Amino acid sequence: MRIVFAGTPEFAVPSLRAACGKAEVVAVYTQPDRPAGRGRGLQASPVKREALARGIPVVQPESLKTQVARDALRALEPDLMVVVAYGLLLPQKILDIPVHGCWNVHASLLPRWRGAAPIQRAIEAGDTGTGVCLMQMEKGLDTGPVLLSQSLAIDEHETGGQLHDRLAELGAQVLSDGLGLLRAGIRPVPRPQSAEGVTYAHKLEKAEARLDWSLPAAVLARKVRAFNPWPVAEAVLAGERLRIHAAVAIEAPAGSAPGTLLAAGRDGIDVACGEGALRIRVLQREGGKAITAADWLNARRDVLS
Q: What is the pLDDT of residues 143-173, one digit of tens each?
A: 999 999 999 999 999 999 999 999 999 999 9
- First-to-last CA distance in the chain? 69
Write the burial class of residue 247 (CB in 10 Å: 0-12 exposed, 13-18 middle, 19+ buried). Answer: buried
The b-or-e profile of 176-211 (16+ CB within 10 A means b, else e) is bbbbeebeeeeebeeeebeeeeebebeebeeebbeb
Over residues 204-255, the pLDDT tens digits come to 999 999 999 999 999 999 999 999 999 999 999 888 999 999 999 999 988 8
Instruction: Mark whether 174 and 284 lie in a shared domain.
Output: no
* 111/162 same-domain check: yes
Per the structure, how many domains does the chain have? 2
Q: Which amino acid is at 266?
A: R
Q: What is the largest CA-CA distance in the chain?
A: 72
Domain boundary among 174, 201, 228: 201
More confident residue, 118 or 89: 118
- With beta carbons less than 8 A apart as the criterion, state whether 300 and 274 touch: no
Give CA–CA dist 98/104, Å, rounded. 13
pTM: 0.95
pLDDT above 90: residue 41? no
pLDDT > 80? residue 193: yes
Q: What is the dihedral of CA 225, 228, 234, 235, to 10 degrees?
A: 30
How far is the CA of 242 from the CAs of 61, 222, 234, 272, 283, in angstroms? Answer: 39, 17, 6, 16, 7
Mean pLDDT over the full length of the chain: 95
Residue 148 counted as an annotated binding residue: no
CATH of the domain at 244: 3.10.25.10
pLDDT digits (tens, 9 = 90+) for 251-270: 998 889 999 999 998 899 99
Residues 210 and 234 in one domain: yes
pLDDT tops 60 at residue 43: yes
Q: Are residues 90 and 192 located together in one domain of the fold? A: yes
Q: Distance from CA of residue 189 to its chain's centroid? A: 27
Same domain for 298 and 235, yes or no, is: yes
Which of 154, 181, 201 is the endpoint of a domain? 201
* Average pLDDT score over residue span 111-120: 97
- Measured CA to CA, the distance from residue 278 to residue 264 in angstroms comes to 11
> Domain check: are 169 and 218 in the same one?
no
Question: How many other β-carbons are positioned within 10 Å of the β-carbon of residue 173?
Answer: 15
- Tell which phi-psi region holds residue 34, choosing left (phi > 0), alpha (psi between -120 and 50) or beta: beta
Share of residues in the chain with pLDDT > 90 (%): 91
Which CATH number covers residue 89? 3.40.50.170
**Is the domain of 236 the same as that of 152?**
no
Same structural domain, 258 and 117: no
Q: Mark whether 30 and 107 lie in a shared domain.
A: yes
Residue 176, marked binder = no
Residue 83 has pLDDT above 60, yes or no: yes
Residue 304 is predicted with a pLDDT of 63
Question: What was the pLDDT predicted at 302?
Answer: 81
**Amino acid found at 38:** R
**Is residue 16 annotated as involved in ligand binding?**
no
The C-alpha atoms of residue 125 and residue 202 are separated, in whole angstroms, by 12
Residues 127 and 77 in one domain: yes
Which of residues 159 and 303 earns the better pLDDT score? 159
Name the residue type at position 146: V
Number of other CB atoms surrounding residue 242 within 10 Å? 21
The span from the CA of 268 to the CA of 263, in Å, is: 8
Containing domain of residue 291, as a range? Answer: 206-304
Write down which residue in 137, 169, 201 finishes a domain.
201
Q: Is 45 annotated as a binding residue?
A: no
Q: Same domain for 143 and 34?
A: yes
In this structure, the answer to whether residues 8 and 102 fall within a common structural domain is yes
